[in-house]
Amino acid sequence: MRLQTALRQGSEILASAGIPEPRLTAEVLLCHALRRERAWLYAHPEHELTTVEWIHYGRYLHERLQGRPVQYITRKQEFYGREFEVTPAVLIPRPETEHVVEQALKAARGARRVLDICTGSGNLAVTLALELGAAAVGTDISFAALEVARRNARRHGARVEWVQCDLASGLSGRFDLIVSNPPYIPLEEIARLQREVRDYEPRLALEGGPGGAAFYPRIVREAERLLAPGGWLIVEIGYQGEQAARCAFGPAWTDAATEYDLAGWPRVVRARFAP
């Protein structure tokens, strides 16, 4: 079968199953099957797929049709300009989370020691270690997630130490900046999530208890123990999470502010530790 035919048929199958962006998805899956970049597809529409390429492509289409996110098929996702390995053990990094990086670069440029709580793929820890030239620590309760994070740090040459613990319970020492994108989907909303998220991404990385704000008071308490005076805590929140997250900050905090994402939803809350 010719490449252009494979692409057309693939996108038709995806479209008729209601998969969003069928053409783009077919291209990405075909690239993965061919182990080529997208530009190569456009330059070689006449390429005849080998049997192995065709079998791989068919399998990837089948997986996507069943609901598996593209990123778990290709095992990669771009974040803040770098490619990160992702597996079903970690949340797929979202573009919205880049707002956490932006806030960190704005508020805490001089941070030398950075902590990322609930690191998942390590996207925040690795990005901040590199962008700030800082020493970072990333924690996660999942050992399988930390293995992915460790590979991502090695791949990008980032200085990060990984600790398996519940939030930051295993840590001591002083940090200048703490970031976290904790699980924040309200328990009540999990069943209504799109199947790509609900059935494939780790529940542990998604669910933030009834109301979705279970982790913020605990993270704030850990930050009060671990931040140097004047240090920043920057957390991501869900679209209904602003109130609960802001309430978690007590009198030891100043300069509390909320930042909005491109869609206009509150997305990041930051505050400065001033004991």
Q: Measured from the CB of residue 64, what is the shortest distance to ligand GLN in angstroms?
A: 21
> What are the contacts of 32-39 at 24+ separation with CB within 8 A?
32/56, 32/60, 32/73, 32/74, 33/57, 33/60
CA-to-CA separations, 123 to 11, 46, 105, in angstroms, rounded: 30, 38, 15
Residue type, 175: F
Give whichever of 28 and 219 is closer to ligand GLN, judged by the CB atom: 219
Give whichever of 4 and 87 is closer to ligand GLN, judged by the CB atom: 87
Give whichever of 25 and 180 is closer to ligand GLN, judged by the CB atom: 180
Q: Measured from the CB of residue 158, what is the shortest distance to ligand GLN in angstroms?
A: 14
Give whichever of 8 and 106 is closer to ligand GLN, judged by the CB atom: 106
> What are the contacts of 254-261 at 24+ separation with CB within 8 A?
259/99, 259/102, 259/103, 261/96, 261/99
- Residue number of the CB atom closest to ligand GLN: 120
Q: Cα(84)–Cα(224) distance, rounded to whole angstroms? A: 31
Q: Measured from the CB of residue 36, what is the shortest distance to ligand GLN in angstroms?
A: 28
Give whichever of 71 and 123 is closer to ligand GLN, judged by the CB atom: 123
Q: Measured from the CB of residue 75, what is the shortest distance to ligand GLN in angstroms?
A: 15
Q: List residues binding ligand GLN (CB under 6 A).
A: 91, 93, 97, 118-121, 123-124, 181-183, 205
Length of the chain: 275
Q: Measured from the CB of residue 120, what is the shortest distance to ligand GLN in angstroms?
A: 3
